[in-house]
Structure 1
Amino acid sequence: MATTTESNPPAKDSKGLSSLNEFNLEKSILRRGLATAAEIDACKAHKAKLASKDESKGLLEIMVEARVLTKSQSMRLLKEAGEANRRVEIPGYQVIEKLGKGSMGVVYKARQTSVDRIVAVKILLDALAQNKEFIKRFDREAKIAAKLSHNNVVNAIDAGDVNGLHYFVMEYVEGGTIKDVLDKNEVFEEKMAIRIVMAVAEALAHAHQRGLIHRDIKPENVILTKDGNVKLADLGLARLTADEKWAMSEAGMAIGTPYYISPEQVRGQVDVDIRADIYSLGATLYHMVTGQVPYGGETAQEVMRKHVDKNTPFVPPDHLNTKLSSGLGVVVETMMAKNRENRYRNPDDLILDLKCLLQGESPMIAGQKPDDLATLAEGDVEDTSRGISEAQLIEVAGYVNGKQSVIVALAAILALSVITNVVVLATR
């Protein structure tokens, strides 16, 4: 389906909607669950009956009269249909329909005529296109996306501007998101959740290798395709880890989504790295397997405070959903450690533990923290001069003592093993 040309416009009803847009309107109403297909068909039949009597009424008007839609719903739909009716012309692309609207732009389904394939085209909102800073951000998103080429990432195809329209062409992906499933009050089975999160972790590993962080991992940004694949989408908040100028320009800003944001993002730290994405992925996994977000609250500020506050208790996912393995609980706790030094260092370490869980084995890295003693020895742990409390020092000391006890026990076992081997050899 391609956009019609001005020389041959489609017929319009009394509400000014073309037949093409009325078709898209029906799809929008069904997709949102505002009416059933039977209700729409009944209203369309009534519309046709009126037309046969030379009485013309728009479909929305009829649906309001039939109390299928409210007046406010019809006004909102009519406004959106009007926006969709605005001609979007980009050389080489034929716009088919509007897919959705975000904070930065409108996304359309289109056909790339040169290779006859379906793509998604994101257009910067008109209001934002008047601001050079937003244009810069939009272009930056396209350039960052172009740095990635992975099976688990929605890949970039093209970008540019024409006649005042700033556009970004992406791979078109059919499917729903994790959020769509959660919105139905469904909970993911453990192994299915692990496979999905592993795919996202592999996408993050690819981004990490290229010095990129996503900064907005959440259920609605993970697409579950119809063919069973997983795609990470929306790089609107992504940035290069090494871009210090960019980081400093956002210092003190809490960038991310409250339910899934990492503590360091809440604080507005400039040295955010891949471990922030691992935290957000952990919060997403938590939601997937429990049906609840890790931290709730009446306001965004309250939720974000809980991510940071060490005194706010963290309820392990396997305590909420007793069908989950304790291994998964430990993995999620490690992903969501408030102190990022206690999280997985990189996506590859996380992937290793997820593979262990899929094989029915205990995680190799989560809960072990083999580098903590070395970190303490190197003096990398915060001391009192950097604001660590006495209680925290006691906690660290207790942790180290516990580790030392384990090391002593292991050394004793190793020594006993060596002595036994010597005795065996001596008796041969």
Structure 2
Amino acid sequence: MATKTESNPPAKDSKGLSSLNELNLEKSILRRGLATPNEIEACKAHKAKLAAKDECKGLLDIMVEAKVLTKSQSVRLLKEIGETAKKFEIPGYQVLERLGKGSMGVVLKARQTSVDRIVAVKILLDALAQNKEFIKRFDREAKIAAKLSHNNVVNAIDAGEVNGHHFFVMEYVEGGTIKDTLDKKDVFEEKAALTIVLAVAEALKHAHQRGLIHRDIKPENVILTKDGGVKLADLGLARLTADEKWAMSEAGMAIGTPYYISPEQVRGQVDVDIRADIYSLGATLYHMVTGRVPYDGEAAAEVMRKHVDKNTFIVPPDHINTKLSSGLGVVVETMMAKNRENRYRNPDDLILDLKCLLQDESPMLAGQKPDDLATLAEGDVDGFTNRGASEAQLIEIAGYVNGRQHMILALAAILALSVITNVVMITTR
């Protein structure tokens, strides 16, 4: 029997099953051996055809009509699903539907009833909730997320535990990821890619200021919102750089995603810092503008070996996509330098060069030797005037070093005033 369609709530069958519970229904049917995967898929396909005709019918009803299930089996399944659904009830939140599943948890779409807003709720998988170490790691992710509050980061709202389920609530962001676009075989235009990467770099700057590294920058963790915004998501691997105990517990472990992981993460170094995130962001930018990952291979180990191997080099992105500027190529190569001493030292340096590219100017810092970067940081701009820097670039450099310069001048002024005061006191005696 068809039911009335609703514009906002998720679709429900004649027994009141939400789309979230239909997923649980599928699992129960397969676990009990009541139907085969092919039978379930055939019924789901029929359900989709009915929906296209504005006929809303639940999966359970369709399976009974198709004689895949008996009426009595459907009654028992409904009871089981109803009991399971109660376990997902979180006080103050109305679960609407399932958004996806990650390595550690299920993400649900919900309504925060107190303020009537849509949020995303991440729940630790039942299998992992039996392990204290996974619970600790999950809670740590929620606390780390709470340290960040930035327009380019998916912000945390709440966290807790109910009926044995550990959860934390996040800002709900509507949109697709960079990966979604790349999966369509679409390549980003240079300016569009730079604008997105600049936003992520701003998010990394915010995290860096709070002593955090993300450790898993990749296309699927960057959300492109429907209103043109950019949000960095998934802090499941994020770590406090000052937490030496945490770092030592992971010594020797390659933590990250093979296609975008930095060499120091592959080696399992304990002193990983923000430059690892810059490397991964560079690999992401490379993929965005070329349509392919920097290093490929048949196995994860082969890909990670290429990130580390000093004799294996990426093909410059502007050689693959000839529409790209050479400046972008140099910036990506600097971001992805195998020796992190040759990368951008921090997000501020990267942001400076990204802004140059967006203004159709040459990057100021990319390709410079480490000692040149140190010289620039000390305020020696004169040496760069003969390298083609424009007046606007020099103004940008000046702003970059002004903070340190002002401090030095202030200290010098205090010292000079002290000397003058002493001289006056001596001469008046």
TM-score relative to the length of structure 2? 0.73
- Check the 8 A contact 2:98/2:107 in 1, yes or no: yes
Write the letter of the residue equivalent to 2:336.
M
Partner residue of 1:346? 346
Report 1:66-215 matches (<5 A): 86-87=85-86, 88-215=88-215
Partner residue of 2:323? 323
Partner residue of 2:405? none
- Check the 8 A contact 2:97/2:108 in 1, yes or no: yes
Distance across 1 between alignment mates of 2:313 and 2:191 = 26
- Check the 8 A contact 2:21/2:85 in 1, yes or no: no
- Check the 8 A contact 1:24/1:97 in 2, yes or no: no
Distance across 1 between alignment mates of 2:215 and 2:277 = 6
Shift, 1:24, TM fit: 6.8
Partner residue of 1:225? 225
- Check the 8 A contact 1:43/1:63 in 2, yes or no: no
Partner residue of 1:419? none
Distance across 2 between alignment mates of 1:374 and 1:225 = 38
Report 1:238-317 matches (<5 A): 238-317=238-317
Partner residue of 1:379? none
Write the letter of the residue equivalent to 2:308.
V
Distance 1:320 1:61, change over 3 A: farther
Report 1:384-423 matches (<5 A): none
Shift, 1:11, TM fit: 3.2
- Check the 8 A contact 1:2/1:94 in 2, yes or no: no
Write the letter of the residue equivalent to 1:21.
S
Distance 1:282 1:374, change over 3 A: closer
Shift, 1:63, TM fit: 8.9
Percent identity over paired residues = 79
Does structure 1 residue 234 correspond to structure 2 residue 234?
A: yes
- Check the 8 A contact 2:94/2:111 in 1, yes or no: yes
Shift, 1:358, TM fit: 0.5
Distance across 2 between alignment mates of 1:152 and 1:84 = 39
TM-score relative to the length of structure 1? 0.73
Distance across 1 between alignment mates of 2:206 and 2:197 = 14
Does structure 1 residue 11 correspond to structure 2 residue 10?
A: no
Gaps of 5+ in 1: 13-17, 29-33, 66-77, 376-406, 411-428
Shift, 1:43, TM fit: 4.8
Gaps of 5+ in 2: 1-7, 27-40, 69-76, 376-382, 387-429
- Check the 8 A contact 1:148/1:155 in 2, yes or no: yes
Shift, 1:162, TM fit: 1.3
Distance across 1 between alignment mates of 2:52 and 2:252 = 58
- Check the 8 A contact 1:2/1:95 in 2, yes or no: no
Report 1:43-82 matches (<5 A): 43=50, 58-59=61-62
Cα deviation code 1:192-224 (max 9, x no counterpart): 000000000000000000000000000000000
Distance across 1 between alignment mates of 2:63 and 2:176 = 27
Distance 1:41 1:305, change over 3 A: closer
Cα deviation code 1:14-41 (max 9, x no counterpart): xxxx44339977xx9xxxxx99x99645
Distance across 2 between alignment mates of 1:260 and 1:90 = 36
Shift, 1:44, TM fit: 6.4
Q: What's the secondary structure of 1:371's corresponding residue? A: helix
Write the letter of the residue equivalent to 2:257.
T
Paired residues in the alignment total: 345
- Check the 8 A contact 1:173/1:225 in 2, yes or no: yes
